[in-house]
Amino acid sequence: MSIEKVARLAGVSTATVSRVLNGYEGVRPATRDRVLAAIAAIQYQPNLLARQLRTSRSRMLLVLVSNIINPFCSRVVRGIEAEAEAHGYHILLCNSDSQTQRESAYLTLLSGKVVDGVITMDAVSNLPGLRQMIGDSPWVQCAEGNPESEGSSVTIDNQQAAREAIAHLTQRGRQRIAMINGDPRYLYAQQREKGYRAALAERNVKWAAVEYANEVECEAGYAAMERLLARGQRPDAVFAVSDVLAVGAIHCARQHQLRIPEDIAMLGFDGLPWSAMLSPPLSTLEQPMHQLGVRSVQLLLQRIKDPHAPHVHEQLNCKLVERASS
Amino acid sequence: MSIEKVARLAGVSTATVSRVLNGYEGVRPATRDRVLAAIAAIQYQPNLLARQLRTSRSRMLLVLVSNIINPFCSRVVRGIEAEAEAHGYHILLCNSDSQTQRESAYLTLLSGKVVDGVITMDAVSNLPGLRQMIGDSPWVQCAEGNPESEGSSVTIDNQQAAREAIAHLTQRGRQRIAMINGDPRYLYAQQREKGYRAALAERNVKWAAVEYANEVECEAGYAAMERLLARGQRPDAVFAVSDVLAVGAIHCARQHQLRIPEDIAMLGFDGLPWSAMLSPPLSTLEQPMHQLGVRSVQLLLQRIKDPHAPHVHEQLNCKLVERASS
DNA sequence: CTGTTAGCGCCTTCAG
DNA sequence: CTGAAGGCGCTAACAG
């Protein structure tokens, strides 16, 4: 089942078989046909591991994501995979749950030459241990990136997005805008909160309230809303950093006999398709999810091709979609 | 950066280094320490490709999924990954979009020894071409499986689940139950439709209406509902094969000034967490998503360990969750 | 146009 | 307890 058997059967050398396999030009049609026939005869399948070892290129990309269950993540990953496949690359998926140990287990695949590069969608850039494991291997941070760290990144302008969110809500006359944020270990969470506070400050609004959801699941959004409502003065608007969290928050508000948007306006983030189909339809900040993935791959492949290519920090635009919830 | 450098630096043979690396017993502590020191000194990282080639085991599993964006899929994949990781395996993800060509591209990784086995969540068992590529490599069908095909499978009893759905709706006094089904090339869709029709027949109900969503996205659910409402007599209940489709269907019904559940009862499928937080909360058939993934990996690893282990066809239970939408 | 040869980096008998 | 040597299957010079 090796290249050698094919060679023997076709009466040629292994080199020739290899040439046929890899589509080299200089092979006489007659011999090529003999080789092809031999391949078909024994149903030969090249051993890709051997090839990868020899060429030291695996055409595989590692994708480190906090949790694929987050619909935002799965859509970005879809973009990654689509673009990777278009260039003949495959992807290896790691759900880290932000556990350093799991991430480092996967990163050995990078040093172990099993993958040619890595795209991280998790808070790794501020973890020195992981940074060191990545070394100067091809690396792109996607959606969650520190522009000041080494390595390229493709993100949105989180701070700016949060400002737009607040601008929108104040414009609609809201006075007490609360925020349901994600785990503050994430840069995106830090940046959005910074934008939120800055926007309020600019408007001389002193009322602020932030609750953190420990994961991006609607139950966590519900719980955060519960805590928000348990505080003294009730907010008249909530800015959630994910549509998923917003769903939970809306449900919680309803349980408290509050009307959306009359009593509380609600604004989500991400722009998942079903946000438009909720009742009321959810206003949200739409991220270019697919494109985030696509661009990340493009930058990564560029760097794989030329390890000395400069690092790039790209920011894609997001878009406020106004609907009935705010 | 190879094992040989370590050996030279430590003044031992490559064999000894290998022994240390793989935790073999019979190495004198003194030499082991020297080796460990050398490894640390040059920051040696084993080349996993070489190891995989040599041992012909990659500890990687291929997961072929139609589309990771489907929340049902991402939750199953999460289960797969969790269990795989617990056994020291990594996973390679392929979004096939049910395109035979893409699937076969990924399956070369199986014949190419890049992965030790494959879990398919897509309609492949009835595609002879792909079946042949898999050959008798370790293979488990997850969530979408043909019990009559070779290879193991872990599924739910789709037909039975559909019967329960109809039983529930008729019990609530519904007379004209329509179905929003998935792509009929999938076995799950065929089986659920069979259950739907059988349940109606048993009750001597002649009214039936089935529309197919071309993908599992809420927009497709919306479109299917639109077609359903454009038909002559309007249904008083809809059984959708996915909560995602149900969201779209509900939205469409609302646009037509129909109330849920008064005018139309709605029943979803999968049991995604946010189905409980919609308004009204969505009744649904809850699948053991995580467990489907976990069991698949267990069966697969079993078969990798012992290629002659018998094929198993397991069915996990799903559960009707009654909420306000029906 | 084709064959010979030398590894890629590792593990694993088989000797000692 | 340790070393020498062979080979996993493939590609890429280098000859011819």
3-class secondary structure per residue, B223-267: HHHHHHHHCCCCCCEEEECCHHHHHHHHHHHHHCCCCCCCCCEEE
- Indicate the SS3 state at residue A194: helix
Least confident of A181-195, A250-264, A272-286, B140-154: B140-154
* A90-95/B90-95 β-pairing: antiparallel
Nucleotides of D under 7 A from a protein CB: 1-13
User: For residues B266 and A1, what is the distance between their CA atoms, to the nearest angstrom?
Assistant: 55
**Chain B residue with minimum CA distance to A67:** B78
Q: Which of A314, A311, A316, A315 is nearest to A138 (CA)?
A: A311
Distance from CA of A160 to the nearest CA of B (A): 27
Amino acid, res. A271: G
**Chain A residue with minimum CA distance to B281:** A251
CB atoms within 10 A of CB B290: 17
User: For residues B232 and B253, what is the distance between their CA atoms, to the nearest angstrom?
Assistant: 15
What angle in degrees, to the nearest 10, is found between the helix axes of A3-10 and A14-21?
Answer: 110
Q: Rounded to the nearest 10 degrees, how much is the dihedral formed by the CA atoms of B142, B146, B149, B154?
A: 30
Checking each nucleotide's C1' against the CA of A7, the nearest proves to be: C3
B308 touches strand D (CB under 7 A): no
Q: What is the spatial distance, in angstroms and rounded to an integer, between the CA atom of A31 and the C1' atom of C2?
A: 10
Who has greater pLDDT, A181 or B29?
A: A181
The dihedral through the CA atoms of A71, B99, B122, B93 has a sign that is negative
pLDDT tens digit sequence for B161-176: 999 999 999 999 999 9
B12 touches strand D (CB under 7 A): yes
Both tokens assigned to A206: 């002193």
Distance from CA of B286 to the nearest CA of A (A): 17
Is it true that the peptide bond before B281 is cis, omega within 30 degrees of 0?
Answer: no
B51 touches strand C (CB under 7 A): yes
Residues of chain B with pLDDT under 70: none
Outline where A116-242 has alpha helix (H).
128-134, 158-171, 187-202, 218-230
Do residues B89 and B301 lie in contact, with contact meaning Cβ atoms separated by under 8 Å?
A: yes
Q: Whole-prediction pTM value?
A: 0.95
Residues of B in contact with A94 (CB under 8 A): 81, 90
**What is the band of A172 on the pLDDT scale with cuts at 50, 70, 90?**
very high
The dihedral through the CA atoms of B246, B247, B253, B259 has a sign that is positive
Do residues A59 and A90 lie in contact, with contact meaning Cβ atoms separated by under 8 Å?
A: yes
User: For residues A316 and A286, what is the distance between their CA atoms, to the nearest angstrom?
Assistant: 11
Average pLDDT, chain A: 95
A50 touches strand D (CB under 7 A): yes
Q: Do B279 and A279 touch (CB under 8 A)?
A: yes
Structure letter (DSSP) for residue B62: E
Residues of A in contact with B213 (CB under 8 A): none
A288 CB-near residues (< 8 Å, 6+ apart): A156, A316, A317, A318
Q: What is the spatial distance, in angstroms and rounded to an integer, between the CA atom of A4 and the C1' atom of D16?
A: 21
A18 touches strand D (CB under 7 A): yes
Residue A23 has pLDDT above 90, yes or no: no
Q: Do B92 and A91 touch (CB under 8 A)?
A: yes
- Indicate the SS3 state at residue A158: helix
Nucleotides of C under 7 A from a protein CB: 1-13
- Estimate to the nearest angstrom the gap between the alpha carbon of B271 and the chain centroid: 15
What's the Cα-to-Cα distance from B226 to each of B172, B210, B249, B291, rounded to whole Å?
24, 12, 8, 35
Tally A–B CB contacts below 8 A.
Answer: 143
A contact residues 6-35, partner B, Cβ 8 Å cutoff: none
pLDDT of residue A149: 82
First to last CA, chain B: 65
B15 touches strand D (CB under 7 A): yes
Half-sphere exposure of B258 (CA within 13 A, CB side): 21
Q: Do B45 and A111 touch (CB under 8 A)?
A: yes
> H or E stretch including A286?
strand A283-286
- Tell me whether A95 touches chain B (CB under 8 Å): yes
- Indicate the SS3 state at residue B320: strand
Only one residue has tokens 């450098």, namely: B5
Give the sheet arrangement for strand A319-321, strand by strand: A209-212, A177-181, A237-240, A265-270, A283-286, A319-321
Q: What is the spatial distance, in angstroms and rounded to an integer, between the CA atom of A19 and the C1' atom of D11?
A: 9
pLDDT of residue A1: 81
